[in-house]
Amino acid sequence: MEKLIISAAICGAEVTKEQNPAVPYTVEEIVREAKSAYDAGASIIHLHVRWDDGTPTQDKRRFQECVDAIRAVCPDVIIQPSTGGAVGMTDLERLQSTDIEPRPEFATLDCGTCNFGGDEIFINTDNTVMNFAKIMQERGIKPELEVFDKGMIDIALKADKKGLLNHPLHFDFVLGVQMTATLRDLVFMVGSIPKGSTWTATGIGKSAWHIAAATISMGGHVRVGFEDNLYIEKGVLAKSNGEMVAKAAELAKLLGREIATPDEARKILGMVK
């Protein structure tokens, strides 16, 4: 089987220090978490940033500062800024993370609107998705297609039909937000993407580790980290993102898959020839 790419979603926009004191807010904390994930085997850092008080922001200068600081200690890691930001942000606000220098090589592209719990709605109209895809294509940024249910795969394929996506496509199945996170769901999602695409999956909350194990067995790639799950095992808070990446790497070892370096990940994802 192909080597395993581990993405670390180190921060997110929704989780707080009240839930787990190791959730990073400041630039120093974000760097600490990125480095711990990288040292444990993550080749991709999925990045949200915060102000020092924890408020999520897509501010271009804050992104630039965090990306530069991560790059200084993890020189070859793939940094994947979020263009999802936090619920309620405008499209222009969200796109700032793609406007840094040098341009990011990878960024998320959320492929539809979804319920985010309670009264929260994460809005991504068809026009938003097409516009984000067009801007990323113009800026030379590979999109990771974030899909929270099957309909979002179909919206991504609509963008592809319009010529707004370069191949190979790469999908991230986020299970346990809008759709449930069972193995049946995962198999259905994997079977719904075009041949030749690559994919990552993440299970939110308590589904994190069984989705990781299934994904490793099925030949997909894995995302772990505080954005998606705060626990290393039932009832035990994770001490760092690195601890979670190390657990994913250990699962991979048990299941016979080697871990990809960042450069190997770039090849697997078709980012370099």
Specify the amino acid at residue 252: A
User: Which of residues 43, 82, 98, 128 is near ligand KMH by CB under 6 A?
Assistant: 82
- Binding site partner of 122, from Zn ion, ligand KMH, none, Cβ cut-off 5-8 A by kind: ligand KMH
From 108, 114, 197, 198, select the one nearest 151 (Cα to Cα). 114
Is there binding between residue 149 and ligand KMH (CB under 6 A)? no
User: Which of residues 36, 83, 96, 124 is near ligand KMH by CB under 6 A?
Assistant: 83
Is there binding between residue 122 and ligand KMH (CB under 6 A)? yes
Instruction: Please state, in angstroms and as integers, the Cα–Cα distance from residue 226 to each residue in 9, 93, 108, 171, 245, following that order.
Output: 6, 23, 17, 20, 11
- Binding site partner of 23, from ligand KMH, Zn ion, none, Cβ cut-off 5-8 A by kind: none
Distance CA 111, CA 85 (A): 14
Is there binding between residue 202 and Zn ion (CB under 5 A)? no
Is there binding between residue 40 and ligand KMH (CB under 6 A)? no
Instruction: Please state, in angstroms and as integers, the Cα–Cα distance from residue 250 to each residue in 22, 114, 135, 213, 244, following that order.
Output: 22, 33, 38, 10, 10
- Binding site partner of 93, from ligand KMH, Zn ion, none, Cβ cut-off 5-8 A by kind: none
Stretch of 31-39, 79-87, 120-128, 170-178 contacting Zn ion, by CB under 5 A: 79-87
DSSP strand pairing (56-57 vs 6-9): unpaired
CA atoms lying within 13 Å on the CB side of residue 120: 11
Is there binding between residue 113 and Zn ion (CB under 5 A)? no
Sites of contact with ligand KMH (CB under 6 A)? 13-14, 82-84, 86-87, 108, 110, 122, 146
Sites of contact with Zn ion (CB under 5 A)? 82
